[in-house]
Structure 1
């Protein structure tokens, strides 16, 4: 039976894999397996679609340092990546997000360092509050066609007991 993913793509049922087993090789390159769900040791859960693209990343944030992988950040998205793209973390490294392909997508550099970073900073501030507030997030990259580069992002987030909010970003300068 097929299931509807978060971004509307119909795919085969998802297979839960242990963290570390979400990768495979395609043409000698490390890629994500299609139709899997995996959870990092930090508790962040991801889903991929039938093309091995991340279609959802979610969890309760915690402050810390994730390990960056410059090669992954520079090459994620490969042929679909634009010249002004960064390797954007879906869960930021300041929240112990992975620096590997399992947490990165091609993201416009201006968006990544602008509105996206502003949102991440608001979460960081809430986590540093006295007492700290719980921050829950779900990031849903939306793709067009078979592109490995998201066209937009939907981010639902909740700080403490406040009402959940939803933010929409186009994957272009300014995010609008």
Structure 2
């Protein structure tokens, strides 16, 4: 086990993992189906109201993973953002997992304005992207959680900088983030992050 020191004197656990780990996380989210949009090329009608669309592999692709008030529905798996990254909510509608099997940089020239009213937000918190804007992450609450300023601007951002640099160098990057909570609180207590850069997999835990 290797200790990684961060600003503020805190340390993060960094453990070498088997390359297969992130692939297994991705496979847990998705099962290929020739009838699903993106495989057959057929379009799926946009969802309306509070009805959740039923799709063969259980992954929502039409926006019906959110209520009319733009809050997340419970127990759903969905794709969101420029590159359709995968997400999952728990039984309280809290974001519990984010997976990018192939993290990419956005082709947009400017940053998208994003929602600020993340669940459980406390004084000094930021609305933090799980998939950053520079990676084509959604600006809506389906990709945002309450993060302390030190997490959003330092600890998590340092990882994002590392991923962005690797992508610019032509390296393959994949990321899986599990969001942790204390009891029924809406604000995350921390993040367990697995990421792979050209076959080398690391695990890091960040307290929030």
- Structure-1-length-normalised TM-score: 0.79
Between Structure 1 and Structure 2, how many residues are aligned? 149
User: What pairs up with 1:31-110 in 2 under 5 angstroms?
Assistant: 31-40=71-80, 42-59=83-100, 60-64=102-106, 65=108, 68-70=112-114, 72=115, 74-77=116-119, 80-110=120-150
2:191 equivalent to 1:153: yes
Structure 2: gaps spanning 5 or more residues: 1-24, 26-56
Structure 1: gaps spanning 5 or more residues: 1-5, 7-13, 172-176
Larger Rg: 2
Asked if the contact 1:126/1:133 (under 8 Å) is kept, the reply is yes
Give the direction of change, closer, same or farther, for the CA distance of 1:15–1:50 in structure 2 (3 Å limit): farther
Q: CA deviation at 1:140?
A: 0.7
Give me the CA root mean square deviation: 1.8
Q: CA deviation at 1:112?
A: 0.6
- Structure-2-length-normalised TM-score: 0.67
Give the direction of change, closer, same or farther, for the CA distance of 1:68–1:145 in structure 2 (3 Å limit): farther
Answer 1 or 2: which has greater strand percent.
1
Looking at structure 2, the residues matched to 124 and 113 of structure 1 have their Cα atoms a distance apart, in angstroms, of: 15
SS in 2 for 1:46: strand
Looking at structure 2, the residues matched to 49 and 15 of structure 1 have their Cα atoms a distance apart, in angstroms, of: 14
Q: CA deviation at 1:17?
A: 2.0
Looking at structure 2, the residues matched to 100 and 141 of structure 1 have their Cα atoms a distance apart, in angstroms, of: 17
